[in-house]
Amino acid sequence: MTPPTQHGPVVARTPEELRAALADADGVGLVPTMGSLHSGHRSLMRLARGRAGTVVVSVFVNPLQFGPDEDFEHYPRDLGADTRVCAEEGVDVVFAPETQTMYPAPQMVTVDAGTMGERLEGASRPGHFTGVLTVVAKLFHLVRPDFAVFGEKDAQQIALVRRMVTDLNLPVEIVGAPLSRDPDGLASSSRNAYLSEQERTSALALSRALTAGREAAPGGAEDVRAASRKVLDEAAAADPPVRLDYLALVDPATFGEASADHRGEAVLAVAARVGGTRLIDNTAVPL
């Protein structure tokens, strides 16, 4: 276990080191991450810092949630930089296990994400949410937090984590942190670093499409879809193009498609590729 510096967190690499670091902890808040920490992660840490006596940030690139053609091997990893970000945000403990520590043997028992996990992101990335829920359940067991903070950028993920906590009677409060955006409007993401300047300009169509859809909400669900689709159709002809994966207006309780006469809150979600980078974004839409 790496001891804290004068202004830094304890870095625990094993469950035993984590237990030692949390031996006298009271009111533990957990921020699960895959590292490559950015302004969005900082907002999660600040929310946790305002509520918890002890803040734990996990830094673990989880292989179970990556598909065979995804960027697991190339996902950015820099624990030193991540620890410095945590120090700046007043984090008490960084839990940064190795893959072998989290998965000492092939994982035979997993948390099934069910039909809700087969839609949208789950349809595009089969098995993704089973991997997410499995590692989150492991982290809850190891850290034993009173609450955990998740970003609302991953709207389907946080909905599934909440459902897992409810269905499995896990004693953890799930706290949603508002989606964080870069100054140009792009949703904050570790993958934004992959974008060239031109690709980033094209990628701004995602947030513009969501804004257009939200502004069309008084006309109902079909107007929301049409307004968003118009922006994305134009972006498909840009250079470089935005290649749409999905655009969906969904019921936040199930992530099934919102009906034409849906009333109440809905979630407008989009996923697309720009160059070799896959991006997601969403916004709440009151209908």
The separation between the first and the last C-alpha atoms of the chain, rounded to the nearest angstrom, is: 51
Question: Which of these is catalytic: 7, 41, 141, 262?
Answer: 41
Which is it for strands 265-274 and 277-286: parallel, antiparallel or unpaired?
antiparallel
Answer whether 131's CB lies under 8 Å from 66's CB: yes
Beta-bridged to residue 271, according to DSSP, are 246, 280
195 is in an annotated binding site: no
8 is in an annotated binding site: no
37 is in an annotated binding site: yes
CA 132 – CA 137 distance, rounded (Å): 9
Chain-centre distance for alpha carbon 285: 20
39 is in an annotated binding site: yes
Read off φ and ψ for residue 240, nearest 5 degrees: -75, 155
Tokens (6 digits) for 250:
């969904």
151 is in an annotated binding site: yes
Q: What is the dihedral of CA 146, 151, 154, 157, to 10 degrees?
A: 0
Q: Residue 273: in which H helix or E strand, if any?
A: strand 265-274
41 part of the active site: yes
156 is in an annotated binding site: no
40 is in an annotated binding site: yes
CA 249 – CA 283 distance, rounded (Å): 10
Secondary structure class of 187 (helix, strand, coil): strand
196 is in an annotated binding site: no
Secondary structure class of 121 (helix, strand, coil): helix
157 is in an annotated binding site: yes
CA 142 – CA 7 distance, rounded (Å): 25
152 is in an annotated binding site: yes
Annotated binding-site residues for beta-alanine read 65
Residue numbering of the annotated binding site for (R)-pantoate:
65, 157
What residues form the annotated binding site?
34-41, 65, 151-154, 157, 188-191
Q: Residues annotated as binding site for ATP?
A: 34-41, 151-154, 188-191
The residues annotated as belonging to the active site are 41
